[in-house]
């Protein structure tokens, strides 16, 4: 067999598209996300001389185009900011890039990449910060919060946005969605607190559902600094959960933390940045994370209290 001649294409192509440095991110809380890509390796090597970016509401890019950057001269491959009309909250967008070499020749469009915005419009929030009854200064037990939701149909799309004053773990029908992540991350907790976005489509079901959040001291109430001071930012743990569900019957449901949730204690007895997490394994999780079958002295239930956002 006669070997084929090596490729001589010199047009650069965009691969490994990223939004804010991540692939297919969920909950981008940035009105002007940044785009980046890598160059495919043409033979022989070539340089990027320009680019065009398109952002659309779906992968067809026909009739749903949101922004077209036009031909931009430059070799930037990172930090290219979105500059189109305001993006909508909690919406999935698709984008692609076409590159030009230094001679002006254009590549084919890249494979599309997607990202989903977070809550860009603060007026969309419906959740309240909730807590349990007032606690004493030496209380270190985690706060358990739980709400019950009845759904008339299956969920076809679901998102949860959660945060806490303290480290938290979010559960839907007993499934731990947070895992080992120490969230929210450290910010000036007396001024601003992060929230996280979760895809909960597969975790809700038609009928009864339980949403729970366990909140430990974390950096909000735990020991900090060389002097190991406690309660630098506050003494009262709190949770914040905002869930948006699209159902198979065409309706939508917004379920949030409010005074209708229950508060109490549970398996986690301490969650400190220096001392770590302590748990009493004799206390069952099922009483809080799934439909409870009984009440126990270790998991008293009280109505949650709404607390001011500040």
CA 29 to chain centre: 9
Distance of alpha carbon 97 from alpha carbon 157, whole angstroms? 28
CB 133 within 8 A of CB 305: yes
3-state secondary structure 155-187: EEEEEEEEEEECEEEEEECCEECCCCCCCCCCC
Over residues 22-51, the mean pLDDT reads: 89
Asked which of 31-35, 83-87, 105-109 is least confident by mean pLDDT, the reply is: 105-109
The model carries a pTM of 0.88
Close Cβ partners of 231 (under 8 Å, ≥ 6 residues apart) = 137, 221
Distance of alpha carbon 218 from alpha carbon 117, whole angstroms? 27
Confidence band, pLDDT 50/70/90 cuts, at residue 68: very high
DSSP H or E segment with residue 116: strand 113-117
Dihedral pair phi/psi, residue 182, rounded to 5°: -95, 90
CB 200 within 8 A of CB 243: yes
3 state SS of 221: helix
Over residues 79-102, the mean pLDDT reads: 95
Distance of alpha carbon 34 from alpha carbon 95, whole angstroms? 11
């Amino acid at each position: 067999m006669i070997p084929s001649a090596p490729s001589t294409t010199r047009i650069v192509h965009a691969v490994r598209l990223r939004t804010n440095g991540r692939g297919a991110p969920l909950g981008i809380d940035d009105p002007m996300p940044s785009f980046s890509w890598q160059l495919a390796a043409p033979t022989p090597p070539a340089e990027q001389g320009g680019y065009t970016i398109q952002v659309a509401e779906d992968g067809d890019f026909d009739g749903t185009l949101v922004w077209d950057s036009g031909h931009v001269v430059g070799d930037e491959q990172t930090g290219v900011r979105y500059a189109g009309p305001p993006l909508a909250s909690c919406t999935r967008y698709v984008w692609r890039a076409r590159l030009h070499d230094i001679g002006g020749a254009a590549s084919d469009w890249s494979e599309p990449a997607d990202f989903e915005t977070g809550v860009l419009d603060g007026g969309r929030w419906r959740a309240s910060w909730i807590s349990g009854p007032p606690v004493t200064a030496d209380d270190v037990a985690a706060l358990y919060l739980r709400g019950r939701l009845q759904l008339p149909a299956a969920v076809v799309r679901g998102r949860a946005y959660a945060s806490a004053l303290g480290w938290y773990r979010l559960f839907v029908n007993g499934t731990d969605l947070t895992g080992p992540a120490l969230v929210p991350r450290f910010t000036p907790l007396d001024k601003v607190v992060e929230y996280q976005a979760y895809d909960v489509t597969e975790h809700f079901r038609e009928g009864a559902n339980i949403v729970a959040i366990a909140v430990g001291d974390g950096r909000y109430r735990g020991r900090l600094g060389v002097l190991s001071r406690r309660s630098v930012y506050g003494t009262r743990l709190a949770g914040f959960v905002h869930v948006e569900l699209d159902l198979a019957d065409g309706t939508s449901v917004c379920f949030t933390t409010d005074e209708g949730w229950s508060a109490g204690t549970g398996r986690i007895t301490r969650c400190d940045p220096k001392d770590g997490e302590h748990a009493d394994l004799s206390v069952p999780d099922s009483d809080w994370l799934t439909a409870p079958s009984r009440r126990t002295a270790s998991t008293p239930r009280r109505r949650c209290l709404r607390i001011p956002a500040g």
